[in-house]
Amino acid sequence: QFEELKRRRLEDPNIGVSRTRLCLHNLPKALDTPRLRALLRGVLRPPGGRPPLIKECRVMRELRGQGQSLGFAFVEFGEHEEALGALRRLNNNPELFGAHKRPIVEFALEDRRKLRLREQRIQRGLLKAKAKAAAGPPDPPQGPPDPPQGNPAPPAGSGGPQKPPPNTPGTAPGTPWAGFRTQGPGHRGAPGAPRTKVLAVPSHRGPKIR
């Protein structure tokens, strides 16, 4: 079944066989991505050496429901020799999941069009990172901030306390300021000059009742 599906896909000229990416079939449904990665690192580690570089490890799951495992996974290595050694070590190995659950491992098929789009995204990300690093952080402001000059006047309508206008000469203390003056006859301050008369605000409001 796998060979027939693989043969049909290889008829597409845009489909090729990867050199570093493996496809693992017949996996237990309870196996998730972290456990598979840890298992591969332990099985593929040479005695007294370091495990191979695993660039990607992903167990494929259903998109709906609880995301149950589909029983296969993709694993990508850094070098072709590492992927080839993993294939020989893992394929049809009864020691991994038991004699009745032997994994089927083969090199994965890849779409060259998707690979080109992936490389373009990676290159755009690198260019943005380089441009951001070349720009550097913004320059900090030079010197301390200027101190405020004097006491600013409160804005109109702010509701703050306002000082009442000083009493005008000739008016009794407590008389409301009318805001204007008139010249009245008979009220003179100096010979030959009329004296200023201050009008007070009426004490009542509304229509006058007689």
Placement of tokens 């009742």 in the chain? 209
Q: Options 3.40.50.620, 3.40.50.1100, 3.30.70.330, 3.40.1710.10; which CATH number does 2-133 get?
A: 3.30.70.330
Report the pLDDT averaged over residues 118-133: 87
pLDDT at 210: 56
135-180 per-position pLDDT tens digit: 877 666 666 666 666 555 555 555 555 555 555 555 555 555 555 5
Of the chain, the percentage scoring pLDDT greater than 90 comes to 32
pLDDT at 112: 84
pLDDT surpassing 60 at residue 185: no
CB burial readout 47-56, b (16+ within 10 A) else e: eeeeebebee
pLDDT at 94: 92
pTM to 2 decimals? Answer: 0.55
pLDDT at 118: 81
143 vs 118: CA distance, rounded Å? 47
pLDDT at 106: 93
How high is the mean pLDDT of the chain?
A: 77
Residue 5 pLDDT grade (very low, low, confident, very high; cuts 50, 70, 90): confident
Maximum alpha-carbon separation in the chain: 131
Q: Is 58:49 a contact under the CB 8 Å cutoff?
A: no
pLDDT at 196: 57
34-81 per-position pLDDT tens digit: 999 999 999 999 888 888 999 999 999 988 877 889 999 999 999 999
Residue 131 pLDDT grade (very low, low, confident, very high; cuts 50, 70, 90): confident
pLDDT at 64: 80
Query: Would you list the domain boundaries of the chain?
Result: 2-133
- CB-based contacts of 94, cutoff 8 Å, min separation 6: 102
pLDDT at 115: 81
pLDDT at 107: 93
Q: Is 63:40 a contact under the CB 8 Å cutoff?
A: no
